[in-house]
Amino acid sequence: MGFGRPRSDSTGVFTFMNMAKKTKEAVKKTIEQTLWDSANELRGNLDAAEYKSVVLGLVFLKYINDCFKVKHDELVAEGDGFEEDPDEYIGDNIFFVPTDARWEKIIQASLTSEIGVVVDAAMEALEKENKQLKGILPKNYARPELDKRRLGNVIDIFENNLHFTGAEARDVLGRVYEYFLGEFAREEGKKGGEFYTPSCVVRTIVEVIQPYKGKIFDPACGSGGMFVQSSKFIERHRGNINKISVYGQELNSNTWRLAQMNLAICGIEANFGDSFGDSFHDDKHPFLKADFVMANPPFNVSKWGGDQLRDDPRWQYGIPPEGNANFAWMQHMLYHLADDGRIGLVLANGSLSSQQGSEGDIRKNIVNADLVEGIIAMPSQLFYNVQIPCCLWFLTKKKAQPGKTLFIDARNMGYMKDRTHRELSCGEETEDHGNDIARIADTFEKFRAGTLEAEKGFSAIATIEDIKEQDFILTPGRYVGIAEVEEDGEPFQDKMERLTSELLDLFAQSHTLEDEIRKQLASIGFTIK
């Protein structure tokens, strides 16, 4: 242990403390974390983007098998011989699992070189038997670059640790799926952001626009997070999930399939078009007028083909520049918005102030059309793909407060979930950090009701004339101002003397720690010059 060198007593203390820390962390691990850690260790030479479909496909397969088995055992116990009748399962919203797709067969083959072929055959059998799964399940487990021993080990991990039974089966699956998507996005970095929007961002949008019923549309739907959070919103508010219709579009073929799997898991029927496709050049829902439009499109996309669409009827407020698709996305969403609908849109902060190309004029026209209900400046470090802060635009054609726009500066909200990523608190699993999302949503509710009292440094209400005076720049900081700092009553001279003394103490501690670290490194043969 320790490069073959004897440990000093001090090193032993440090080692014991580290072991204790790791043990404590292990105790705190959720089933999602345990599964991820185990499965990810077996990834081998596959990158996160490739491995994503492997793991999530197996999670999906295990889930529908577990649900099927519960119902199958019930039918066997009844003794009427209906356990192989697909109609008995469809009525309970359970996928029928044919013999070739059953988990027992997967397990039997898990330690053989044929496991990839068996899993692919299972996916094909499921699609054949369940029309809503047709064309969406991954069928690439037999490819040579996927190590079959590692694949068998992942299946074994799921067999022993992943169980979907009882009334909470779907909730458990949702948590596992969302956790895995987040971890894959983290590992994929910039590319990961193309399919995954942090749940706290999605939830903020959903809580503000409140999609209780009607048509919900996401023209850049990624893995379908907006729809999943919408269903959760309805559940939290005791609504009826059957009162919403879901429409989506996605450019990436793998992500398009992933989104449909994600929604199938949640029991949400969705129309994602007949295939994947470009929202600008191959609109899969050309006549759709949605009650709620939500999206996190790719930021600042250039060369999006705008030169081929200069006469497009969607550009009611100005022709978007070829060098940036931000306002093309916004106008595409406005085009698909019902007369009394609401939009929640994630964009880069540049959309609030840019004057490049026609962006300033488009923003001016949208403001003058009284479409901007609210703007939120979000904290940095929320996204896995970009560290720059973003903003949320909320638009509607029928404002509760005509001629007025709500500005919220949320840049200082949230907490650091880990060393590099921030989250907005939601009050459930984040009780220690309050409930940022509820505070934002409540602010919007009070604004719509006409009862909001502006809070300096956080919220403000501006008229179109106010915005005109700011040259149609929508950066919330211009409107909310700076929060007043409460005086603590300590005289300036006393405060400086106290802080200086504390700083000197910290300097002394740092020197002591530096000396100790040098000693420990020297004890194992390393010297810092």
Co-location of 151 and 201 in the same domain: no
pLDDT reported for residue 489: 63
pLDDT single digits (tens) 35-50:
787 777 777 767 777 7
For residue 523, tell me if it sits in a domain: no
pLDDT single digits (tens) 436-451:
999 999 999 999 999 9
**Which residues lie below 8 Å from residue 407, measured CB to CB, with a gap of 6+?**
374, 375, 459, 460, 461, 462, 474, 476, 479, 480
pLDDT reported for residue 18: 44
Co-location of 35 and 150 in the same domain: yes
Q: Which residue has the tokens 């505070």?
A: 439
For residue 168, tell me if it sits in a domain: yes
Contact 218, 293 (CB under 8 A): yes
For residue 498, tell me if it sits in a domain: no
pLDDT reported for residue 527: 77
Co-location of 179 and 277 in the same domain: no
Which CATH number covers residue 47?
Answer: 1.20.1260.30
pLDDT reported for residue 420: 76
For residue 361, tell me if it sits in a domain: yes
The pairing of beta strand 244-248 with beta strand 214-218: parallel
Residue 18 CB: number of other CB atoms within 10 A? 10
Locate 217 and state its tokens. 């549309």
Q: What phi and psi values does residue 86 have, to the nearest 5 degrees?
A: -55, -35
For residue 323, tell me if it sits in a domain: no
Out of 160, 187, 214, pick the residue that ends a domain: 187
Question: Which residues make beta-bridge pairs with 295?
Answer: 345
Co-location of 174 and 240 in the same domain: no
Co-location of 201 and 259 in the same domain: yes
For residue 432, tell me if it sits in a domain: yes
- Average pLDDT for consecutive 10-residue bins of the chain (529 residues)? 36 38 46 77 74 85 93 94 92 90 96 96 95 87 91 90 78 74 69 64 93 93 84 82 90 83 79 91 96 91 90 96 95 97 95 93 98 96 71 96 97 86 78 85 97 96 97 96 67 77 81 82 76
**Which residues lie below 8 Å from residue 507, measured CB to CB, with a gap of 6+?**
none
What is the rounded CA–CA span in Å between residue 410 and residue 412?
Answer: 6
Co-location of 362 and 234 in the same domain: yes
DSSP letters for 126-193: HHHH-GGGTTTS---TT-TTS-HHHHHHHHHHHHHH----STTHHHHHHHHHHHHHHHHHHHHTTGGG
Which CATH number covers residue 361?
Answer: 3.40.50.150
Query: What's the total number of domains in the chain?
Result: 2
pLDDT reported for residue 292: 96
Sheet with 459-463, side-by-side order of all strands:
270-271, 244-248, 214-218, 290-295, 337-348, 390-396, 372-377, 404-409, 459-463
Co-location of 183 and 283 in the same domain: no
pLDDT reported for residue 198: 81
Nearest C-alpha neighbor of 274 from the set 302, 292, 253, 258: 253
pLDDT reported for residue 21: 40
What is the rounded CA–CA span in Å between residue 190 and residue 93?
Answer: 37
Nearest C-alpha neighbor of 232 from the set 210, 248, 255, 215: 210
Amino acid sitting at position 249: Q
pLDDT reported for residue 445: 97
DSSP secondary structure code for residue 346 in this structure? E
Query: CA neighbours within 13 Å on the CB side: how many for 422?
Result: 19
pLDDT reported for residue 177: 72
Locate 502 and state its tokens. 């504390």
Co-location of 395 and 434 in the same domain: yes
What is the rounded CA–CA span in Å between residue 351 and residue 391?
Answer: 8
Co-location of 143 and 273 in the same domain: no
Full-model pTM:
0.74
For residue 509, tell me if it sits in a domain: no
Residue 519 CB: number of other CB atoms within 10 A? 12
Out of 459, 480, 501, pick the residue that ends a domain: 480
The pairing of beta strand 390-396 with beta strand 244-248: unpaired
Full residue range of the structural domain in which residue 180 is found = 31-187
pLDDT reported for residue 283: 96
Co-location of 115 and 247 in the same domain: no
For residue 71, tell me if it sits in a domain: yes
Count H helices and E strands in the chain, helices first. Answer: 17, 11
Out of 153, 172, 187, pick the residue that ends a domain: 187
Co-location of 390 and 373 in the same domain: yes
Co-location of 181 and 194 in the same domain: no
